[in-house]
Amino acid sequence: MGMMRLRSIMVLLLQVMILLGQEIGKVSSTLYKVGDLDSWGIPIDAKVYSKWPKTHSFKIGDSLLFLYPPSEDSLIQVTPSSFKNCNTKDPILYMNDGNSLFNLTQNGTFYFTSGQPGHCQKYQKLLVSVGTYSAEADALSPSSSADADAPSYQNAFGSIPLNQKSSSSSLLISAFSSVVASLACAVVVGATM
């Protein structure tokens, strides 16, 4: 009878642990609707895409959502020099599905603009820094264009690495495991006394 009780307590604690772990995993990554706007397009306020990233702190695991009518716009990830010069040829990545999710899977600065001719010149361009990078310095320093077109330039389109996403929850789970273990000991000791 005592063992049955102990077992159900353990099962309950385990379930609580798992649920808490999942919640922590959820809050640790954020999905940002770019510019807090319903549509990725030529901005009405020219400064909207340059201002928006400064009011947020992006981290690995977050994603950027670009929504737009696929017949009217597109999204390209470009090199720093292409960003500066509004060169839409040879982008790192091209998307035109109207619902483009860019996953931030590494630290660094990422440069986006529209693949449509003339849109970049009309300030439809966005620079997002992940980690401690200084976006401004990265984008504006002339030296950054030196390695801008290096073939090793990585793009971050892809799925969120699972280990990254779950690292905080597994830490939490191990913390909870020790709590559960000591609780179990206490119960066992109490039962045998």
User: Could you list the residues that contact ligand NAG (CB under 6 A)?
Assistant: 60, 63, 101, 103, 107, 131-132, 157-160
CB of 150 to ligand NAG, least distance (A): 19
Nearest residue (CB) to ligand NAG, 45 versus 136: 136
CB of 126 to ligand NAG, least distance (A): 16
CB of 160 to ligand NAG, least distance (A): 5
- Token pair listed for 68: 């737009």
Contact 17, 51 (CB under 8 A): no
Nearest residue (CB) to ligand NAG, 163 versus 192: 163
- 55 phi and psi angles, rounded to 5 deg: -95, 5
Query: DSSP 3-state assignment of 124?
Result: coil
CB of 33 to ligand NAG, least distance (A): 15
Nearest Cα to 69, choosing from 94, 102, 42, 97? 97
Nearest residue (CB) to ligand NAG, 65 versus 179: 65
Contact 135, 53 (CB under 8 A): yes
CB neighbour class for 3 (10 Å; exposed up to 12, middle 13-18, buried from 19): exposed
CB of 107 to ligand NAG, least distance (A): 4
Q: Using CB atoms, what's the residue nearest to ligand NAG?
A: 131
Contact 119, 42 (CB under 8 A): yes
